[in-house]
Structure 1
Amino acid sequence: MELKRIRSLWGVETPLVRALPDFKTNGYQGIEVAVVFTPELKQLATLAREHELEVVAQILTTFPGTPRTPRAHLQAFKDQVKMALPLNPILFNVQGGCDSWSELEQDQFYDDALKFAATLDVPVAFETHRGQPTFTPWTTARILQTFPDLRLTCDLSHWVNVCERLLEDQEDNIRLAAQHCIHIHARVGHEEGPQVTDPSAPEFAAHLAAHEQWWEWMWEAQKERGQTFTTLTPEFGPPPYQHTLPVSQQPVGNLDAVCNWMAERQLLHFQQWKASIENLQ
């Protein structure tokens, strides 16, 4: 199994005609793009092909103007998939649904969404995310038990934030999520927020170690399923996700540097994990 590192376009201010070749130079194999907030999809598709970058299409069913009903979220999912087709994506990553839905409404959405996903030639993963039914380990576990064919993008920084702890009591639910994970958002969260200021800082060493342990469980499950590659996006975001100084609102740290540090760190981490697995065989 090989690791493909994907660079999110979230927070990228450099013109894409310059940014994409830089991503390639920095070792990324692909980009992740929020379809509904990207007006020039055909131009982006052309640039991605020119620089041999694969595309993960991010589907956001919750955005201003979307009614909070399963039917409306399903339609947003379908509409954005159609929009994304020029990108020829390798994966649809769906932030879908609403955290305040009843279990009946959740099931209605996932049942219909999975039926639609089955008509596509591209894998579909639903992201663990605040504001959605997958916002906690236990709500996600219920959904996975109800829909065993559902696949996940695991971003457990959200769970750390929502639960206000490093999920020491949630190993069973995390391992269940790992069995369904096909894409990883490698952002490190903390008890009071979904994004630490700097994952390389010593004060966040325990947080980084916990997340890396969870990612290893996901890699193990993917290897057991026979996946030939795994994808990982170091999805650190700009303000207000990124901390800022008061009044001046200047970001604390350099977003591009943080993403690149995490990408390099996880390439080494993956290689070490893979070697340790092979040594045991």
Structure 2
Amino acid sequence: MQLKTFKTLWGNQLSIDDACDQAISAGFSGIEGQAPSSREQQIEMLNAIKNSGSDYIAEIVTGGDYVPNRNWTVEQHLDDLKRQIESSLMIAPLFATCITGCDAWEESQSIDFFQRAIELSDSYGLTISFETHRSRSLFNPWTTLRIIEQLPNMKLTADISHWCVVCERLMDSEIPTLEALSNNVHHIHGRVGYDQGPQVPNPAAPEYADALKSHQGIWEMFWTKQYLKGYAFSTLTPEFGPDGYLHLMPFTQKPVADLWEVNQWMGATEREHFKQFRQTLQP
């Protein structure tokens, strides 16, 4: 099994051509991000991906924004999902990672929604991996596990950083629960959270070594399960981003770190980490 890492388009300020070239030059396998809604921009993105030799993971976000509109119904989320699947398919993604649902729904409502969402994606022949995300149906590990138990074929994009801030602790305190749902992890978002936030200021800083080690141990658990299932490659997207995630200095609002440098460091670190991990597995 190999590891493919991806550059997130979250916070990207470059043209799509330059973003793809930057990703490949920095050792990433491709990009992850939302597909444009217009046909012209879809063709432009597809050409950029092809010309650079990039792989592509589509990102789908339902509910109007990353924090969903609280009043949206299941049907509205499904309609939004359908529209974005169709946009994504124009760009030939490996699969789609999806931020969807709502934390305020009853679990039975979320289970019904995900069942229908999986059936919808299957009808298009697109693999969808649902992200563990704050404000969404999969906002904590225990709710996620109960949903997975009802939908054992459901795939997950594991972003442990969200659960750290929701639960106010590192997730190595919850290993039995994570082990129980690890069979469903299809994709990893490699951002490092901590007990008071979803993004440490800089994962290379020694004061966050414990948080980094905690996440890496859990990622190894997911990699092991993927290896045993016969995955040819695992995928990981370093996803340090802006929008309140990146720490800013008071008054000046100067960022405490450069996001591209942080994501490059995270990608290179996890590629090396994976090489070391791979040596521990049976040939």
TM-score by length of 1: 0.95
CA contact (8 A) 1:129 1:135 kept: yes
User: How do 1:206-245 residues align onto structure 2 when only pairs under 5 Å count?
Assistant: 206-245=210-249
Q: Is the 8 A contact 2:17 2:49 kept in 1?
A: no
What's the CA shift for 1:86?
A: 1.5
Residue in 2 that maps onto 1:26: 26
1:193-204, aligned counterparts within 5 Å? Answer: 193-204=197-208
| Equivalent position amino acid for 2:28 in 1 | Y
Q: CA deviation at 1:36?
A: 5.9
1:199-254 residue CA offsets vs partner (Å, 9 max, x unmatched): 01011000000000000000000011111011100011024210111222121110
Q: Aligned partners of 2:241 and 2:11: how far apart in 1?
A: 6
Amino acid at match of 1:60: V
Deviates more, 1:257-266 or 1:121-130: 121-130
SS in 2 for 1:93: strand
Report whether the alignment pairs 1:98 with 2:102. Answer: yes
Question: Residue 171 of structure 1: CA displacement?
Answer: 1.0
Q: CA RMSD in A?
A: 1.6
Please name the residue that 2:63 is paired with: 62
In the alignment, structure 1 residue 118 sits paired with structure 2 residue 122: yes
Q: 1:128 to 1:261 in 2, by over 3 A?
A: same
Task: Give the AA of the match of 2:54.
Answer: L
CA contact under 8 A between 2:103 and 2:139: conserved in structure 1? yes
Distance 1:256 1:214 in 2: 24
Question: 2:273 matched to 1:272?
Answer: no
Kept after mapping to 2: 8 A contact 1:239/1:251: no
- TM-score of the superposition, structure 2-length normalised? 0.94
How do 1:50-199 residues align onto structure 2 when only pairs under 5 Å count? 50-64=51-65, 67-199=71-203
The answer to whether the 8 Å contact 1:178/1:217 transfers is yes
Q: Distance in 2 between matches of 1:198 and 1:250?
A: 14
**CA-to-partner distance for each residue in 1:24-74, whole Å, 9 max, x for gaps?**
111111100123689822211110010010111100012258542111111
Is the 1:154–1:177 Cα contact (8 Å) retained in structure 2?
no
The 2-side partners of 1:91 and 1:168 are apart by 28
Change beyond 3 A, Cα 1:12–1:37: farther
CA–CA separation in structure 2 for the residues paired with 1:213 and 1:169: 12
Q: 1:97 to 1:17 in 2, by over 3 A?
A: same
Question: Which ranges in structure 1 are unaligned for 5 or more consecutive residues?
Answer: none
Which stretch of the first structure deviates more once superposed, 65-74 or 106-115? 65-74
Deviation larger for 30-39 or 99-108: 30-39
- Do residues 44 (structure 1) and 48 (structure 2) align? no
**Superimposed CA distance per residue, residues 64-85 of structure 1 (whole angstroms, 9 cap, x where no aligned partner):** 5854211111111111001112
User: Identity across aligned pairs (percent)?
Assistant: 34
Aligned residues of 2:85 and 2:121 also touching (Cα < 8 A): no
| d(CA) in 2 for partners of 1:246, 1:20 | 33
Query: Structure 1 residues 37, 138: closer, same or farther in 2, change over 3 A?
Result: farther
**Partners in 1 of 2:53 and 2:220 — Cα distance?**
28
How far does the alpha carbon of each residue in 1:159-189 deviate from its partner, in whole angstroms, 9 at most, with x for none? Answer: 0110000134311111123210111000000
Summarize deviations over 1:98-142 as a string: whole Å, max 9, x none. 000012211220111111122232321000000111110100000
Read off the aligned partner of 1:86 and give its amino acid letter: M
SS of structure 2 residue aligned to 1:4: strand
Give secondary structure in 2 for the equivalent of 1:276: coil
Answer yes or no: is the 8 Å Cα contact 1:92–1:125 preserved in 2: yes
Secondary structure class of the residue paired with 1:87: coil
Q: Distance in 1 between matches of 2:161 and 2:181?
A: 14
Q: Number of paired residues?
A: 279
Cα distance in 2 for partners of 1:239, 1:103 equals 29
1:20 & 1:199 partners in 2: Cα distance? 24
